[in-house]
Structure 1
Amino acid sequence: MRQSFILPVLLAASAATAAPALQPAQLAIIINDEEPNSVALGEYYRTARGIPDANVVHVRIPGKPRTLTADQFASLKAEIDGRLKPEVQAVLMVWTAPYAVECNGITAAYALGFDAEQCSKTCAPGKPSPYFNATALPGATQQGMRLAMLLPTESVEEGKALIDRGKASGFRIPNAGAYYLVTSEKPRNSRAPFFPKAGAIPQRKLTIHTLRDDALEGRKDIMFYQTGKARVEKLDTLQFLPGALADHLTSVGGDLLGNAQMSSLRWLQSGATASYGTVSEPCNFWQKFSNPAVLLRHYVGGSTAIEAYWRSVAWPAQGVFIGEPLAAPYRR
């Protein structure tokens, strides 16, 4: 994708007819019965979104490990898949950890299969995702494919608030801002060429701001916030709208319970509804992170958060998608 592609993408987004979007009956909930918070939030989500009882799968993952081996994951995936009906197009894993399968993000390993080759050299290019910039449901894009996302469970109160934000996103289109920051951390600006130019999408009440700054401060209308920083400051001064998507390009934002860099969990704790990060050192290939133009196009075109985020990452093996999957503020 080149810079010249961005303007047509945005024009298409402003007038796009929404592609078929994921429905609650096509989403499964995976609950870890070894974790009380997972049980509580799984039931809360099922009720809030009207997920069919048949789409709820209970598993047991003792000890809350951050990382699974390939063999452990294969057993878990087989157990989950064996209980799902063919019409299920995506799964929501209701837990924070495990979030990695060796060097892979668990959501990517589930959707695309464990990529052992990537682990031999994590800084090597990744395998292309068949769902990158797709316009159909995952099963129509690749037979048997199901998307995956994590709903974090560190706090029942925060988890319920996240679910409520996702559901609230479907009630109205607010006046909103999309913020893209070119920062002083130059290696983390690799996707800056794909930042949309400043302007407006009037049909979606969305104003685009492309800035040169290390952090936003005091903004109260955030629907998109994408930047490149190891740690993003001033999040406590911001207000994210229901359905907001936010992420930072850095090495291990997807190491959700680590402290080497800012965890992607911080976005959700600050009020965003979905986010993304990598669990192992990816180097700064833009393809291993969310492409801002593609994410914007699909989300304002009516896609759910899980579909828009998955469609925006070209090489997702090392990534983990987190948040409330059915948020869709622009679906009408």
Structure 2
Amino acid sequence: VPSSNEFKIKQAVPGNRQVIVTWDKIPEAIGYVLKYSLGSNIYVIGLDPETTSYTVIGLENGSTYYFKVMARSTTVIMVETSTILVKVGRTSGLQSHQLGLLVNDNDPDSIAVAEYYRIRRLIPSENIVHLSLPKVTRLTANEFTPLKNKVDELMPPTVQALALAWTIPYAVESMMLAGKNVDQVKALIDRGIASDGTQPTGSAYIMNTTDSIRSVRAKVFISYYLGKTISPHVNVQLLQANSISGTTDVLFYFQGLHAVNDITTNKYPPGAVADQLTLYGGMLTDSGSHMSILEFIAAGFTGSFGTVSEPCSWTQKFPNPQFMIQHYTKGETLIESYWKSILQVFQGVFVGEPLANPWRQYIS
């Protein structure tokens, strides 16, 4: 009989007045008990030993329910899962069952991050693909091709995006769960989850710095979209400055420097994003004089983007502030919003918690 650490709820997918709960199969069990509750109301459903998925219906949209599954023998409960919380209702944006997770079995940090993310976001086990990667910054075409073929073969067709649970290799067009160490990545994941549905209000800062080339996004930004034209949640400001400091309302920070000062002096709400238009910000571990975007993550941001090769100062290779703010504040996830804000993504890398959704909407 497995321990409680081994018997898990694999997935809990909320929908319109329902939740689909899926759990591990215990060969020795003669049946299962699905227990769920809302406040003081507790409900118990007995299920046969062949059932490992059940749709609980008749729930209240917008309410948070507690779920637990117990495996039973003839007379006793043998083992039970941990209790999970699920908010009911069909929500906007990418869902956990639509996200694939890649893990590098040659990297203990990758294994630790992937397991933490699987548990925190309830990523289905069939959406997780294990790879054996060298711990190098870049892969050759010959190294990359068989890995891609394996992912294409094993990943379910329902998966719409990938999260990569490692920091190197970094020259990839996906969102990476990356940081300077495992604790920073776990904190990043926690911030993404904490942001969901919080509907924050604050500011977007588009910086026109003393570096005129790297400030090209500020120079071409349409003044009509300043203020709260894009979203009532976000006050878009164009500042003639190299940095901001001592603030608590930064939701978006679009920089125009090769290295950004004062980022540790601010406090950032969960879900906040930042990036700078510079040459090697996406070279996470060896960016030289160009600040690595991992510095934004270390400072408390939930997402960032940087390039790994010479992009020139072409705005189409970096996030468009208008589109990023529009998509994110309308209830799309971080990975959807960032991806849709960049016309040419092939030279860049995203770092962040892909499913972060601060302006998540419930759909009736």
TM-score range, shorter chain: 0.7 to 0.9
Spell out, residue by residue over 1:164-190, the C-alpha distance to the aligned partner (whole angstroms, 9 max, x if none): 000001142223211111111001122
Q: Which residue of 2 aligns with 1:194?
A: 221
1:87 aligned to 145, 154, 158, which one?
Answer: 158
Change (3 A) 1:45 1:201: farther
Deviations 1:14-70 (A, max 9, x none): xxxx995211000011011111111111011111111111111111113x1001112
Q: Which consecutive unaligned segments of at least 5 residues does structure 1 have? A: 1-17, 101-105, 108-147
Match of 1:231 in 2: 259
Match status 1:32 vs 2:104: yes
Contact 2:92 2:360 in 1 (8 A): no
Cα distance, 1:201 vs structure 2: 5.7
Q: Would you say the 8 A contact 1:19–1:303 is kept in 2? A: no
Please say if 1:208 is aligned against 2:236: yes
Q: 1:249 aligns with which of 264, 268, 277?
A: 277
Write out aligned runs for 1:36-51 (5 A): 36-51=108-123
Q: Secondary structure at the match of 1:225?
A: strand
Map of 1:323 onto structure 2: 352
Structure 2 CA distance for partners of 1:203 and 1:247, relative to 1, 3 Å:
closer
Q: What amino acid maps onto 1:184 in structure 2?
A: T
**Structure 2 residue runs without a partner (length 5+):** 1-89
> In the aligned structure 2, how far is the partner of 1:172 from the partner of 1:261?
33
- The 5 A counterparts of 1:5-24 are 21-24=93-96
What does the per-residue CA deviation read over 1:272-297, in whole Å, with 9 as the maximum and x for residues that have no partner? Answer: 10110000111100011111111111
TM-score by length of 1: 0.78
CA RMSD of aligned residues (A): 1.8
Q: 1:202 to 1:66 in 2, by over 3 A?
A: closer
1:166 and 1:20 map into 2 onto residues whose CA distance is 15
Kept in 2, the 8 Å contact 1:216–1:234? The answer is yes
Aligned residue pairs total 269
Tell me the distance in 1 between the aligned counterparts of 2:342 and 2:179: 24
Give TM-score scaled by structure 2 length: 0.71
Q: Rg larger in 1 or in 2?
A: 2
Distance (whole Å) between structure 2 residues aligned to residue 223 and residue 262 of structure 1: 20
1:280 equivalent in alignment to 2:309: yes
**Would you tell me which structure has more strand in proportion to its own residues?**
2
Supply the distance in 1 between the matched residues of 2:102 and 2:271 (Cα, whole angstroms): 22
2: CA distance, partners of 1:92 / 1:288:
21
> Shift of residue 204 of structure 1?
4.3
Higher percent of residues as helix? 1
Letter in 2 for 1:151: L
Q: Identity, % of aligned pairs?
A: 42
Deviates more, 1:197-206 or 1:75-84: 197-206
Query: How far apart, CA to CA, are the structure 2 residues paired with 1:30 and 1:230?
Result: 30
Tell me how far 1:315 sits from its aligned partner.
1.1
Structure with the bigger RCO (C-alpha within 8 Å, sep 6+) is: 1
